[in-house]
Chains A and B, each alone.
Chain A
Amino acid sequence: GAGVSQTPSNKVTEKGKYVELRCDPISGHTALYWYRQSLGQGPEFLIYFQGTGAADDSGLPNDRFFAVRPEGSVSTLKIQRTERGDSAVYLCASSLSTGAGANVLTFGAGSRLTVL
């Protein structure tokens, strides 16, 4: 597609529920990134994929968070047993490649998660 598409745009859930957030990157972009932006803060890195594999998942806060990209295109961020502190905007971005001089990310509009 023309841009990075994220669904749902808004998700309200109850504490303890399971949530999936989807990202459809720009066609041909091999690198895909997930960030989390809490109110009043800058985006915080969670995980990035190069192709199908998670090349760096050091930003995932704990084992309730997991992400997959099985075919190297669409990615799903999965959050188990949601907590109120998980409320944030989850941003997805993609880029043509990683490596020196190539890391220009295009961001989606984000998925706003609210945990009641």
Chain B
Amino acid sequence: AQSVSQHNHHVILSEAASLELGCNYSYGGTVNLFWYVQYPGQHLQLLLKYFSGDPLVKGIKGFEAEFIKSKFSFNLRKPSVQWSDTAEYFCAVSNNAGNMLTFGGGTRLMVKP
């Protein structure tokens, strides 16, 4: 069975600070990796995904994530956050059959203006 851990439950940053949210997964086979974001009052939206190829993935709104297979990690980064990045961020993994996403517990990010 696959599992996902997000170690930071709450993160508070000032605008222009750099962001890194941790994500570690547990699964022995080939995985697909995702970050979803949920802005206040909105539904879950895909931020970025990794299936194969370049382990550094660029997403929307200046976000990126790096897949490090040896560490079973897929951390999310952004060099300079904005107040509008305030949201909850979920890391998720699916196996190569792709029929079920397993989510982490989420990280709630608050960016102070």
* Minimum CB–CB distance for B57 against chain A, Å: 13
Find out whether the CB atom of B44 lies under 8 angstroms from the CB atom of A91: yes
Query: Taking the complex as formed, is A62 at the interface, i.e. its CB lies under 8 A from any CB of chain B?
Result: no
Inter-chain CA distance A105–B32, complex, in Å, is: 12
Contact bitstring A14-39, B, C-beta under 8 A = 1, else 0: 00000000000000000101010000
- Checking A41, A99, A105 against B101 with a beta-carbon cut-off of 8 angstroms, the contacting residue is A105
Complex: chain A residue closest to B1, CB-CB: A58
- Checking A43, A98, A105, A109 against B97 with a beta-carbon cut-off of 8 angstroms, the contacting residue is A98
Number of A residues near B (Cβ < 8 Å) is: 29
Q: How large is the interface on B (under 10, 10 to 19, 20 to 34, 35 or more residues)?
A: 20 to 34
Inter-chain CA distance A98–B43, complex, in Å, is: 22
Find out whether the CB atom of B98 lies under 8 angstroms from the CB atom of A98: yes
Complex: chain A residue closest to B30, CB-CB: A100
Find out whether the CB atom of B51 lies under 8 angstroms from the CB atom of A99: no
Which of B14-22, B58-66, B78-86, B103-111 has 4 or more CB atoms under 8 Å from chain A? Answer: B103-111
Find out whether the CB atom of B99 lies under 8 angstroms from the CB atom of A101: no
Main secondary structure of the interface of B (DSSP, over half): loop
Find out whether the CB atom of B43 lies under 8 angstroms from the CB atom of A42: no
Find out whether the CB atom of A103 lies under 8 angstroms from the CB atom of B99: yes
Inter-chain CA distance A109–B43, complex, in Å, is: 5
Inter-chain CA distance A86–B43, complex, in Å, is: 20
Find out whether the CB atom of B49 lies under 8 angstroms from the CB atom of A108: no
- Interface set of A (CB-CB < 8 Å, partner B): 31, 33, 35, 40-45, 48, 50, 55-56, 59, 91, 93, 98-110
- Interface set of B (CB-CB < 8 Å, partner A): 4, 6, 32, 34, 36, 42-46, 49, 51-52, 90, 92, 94, 96-106
Those 8 A-B pairs whose CB atoms lie nearest each other, nearest first: A103-B98, A42-B103, A107-B44, A109-B43, A98-B99, A43-B103, A100-B96, A42-B105
